[in-house]
Amino acid sequence: MKKKIALFGASGQTGQHFLELALERGSEVKALARNPKSISQVNPNFEVYMGDVLNIDDVRQVIEDADIVVSLFGHVKGSPEWLQTDGTKNIVQAMKEKNIKRIISPVFVAGTPKLEIE
């Protein structure tokens, strides 16, 4: 059975690498991006939705039917100060509503991301 992944941060450097790896392993991926054209990946198992992690309805749309959520989004120049805090709150709230229990999120130590990959 294919894993269905909801991905936040697919347009960033880490997100692009994760997306490629997930698709190579046969997962189905839905991603949320403020600018979907910034993601060049073309694959029948990949859908990208235009939206913002700060909009709970956009988050809900992407996590629909997901087995797991991967949160790799972060600050970019000009993003709101509380982007990660408020965006993560929206993701967790939507996960609770949809009874999704699994999330992968990086831990940064001295600027080096550590990803939990199954």
**DSSP β-bridge partners for residue 109:** 112
Q: Note down the domain range covering 19.
A: 4-114
Grouping H, G, I as helix, E, B as strand and the rest as coil, residue 74 is coil
Whole-model pTM?
Answer: 0.86
How far lies 36's CA from each of 23, 33, 51, 80, 106, in Å?
17, 5, 9, 20, 22
pLDDT digits (tens, 9 = 90+) for 45-67: 999 999 999 999 999 999 999 99
Please tell me the total count of domains within the chain.
1
CATH code of the domain covering residue 44: 3.40.50.720
pLDDT digits (tens, 9 = 90+) for 1-33: 789 999 999 998 899 999 999 999 999 999 999
Neighbouring C-alpha atoms within 13 Å toward the C-beta of 14: 21
How far lies 4's CA from each of 44, 62, 110, 112, in Å?
13, 11, 31, 27
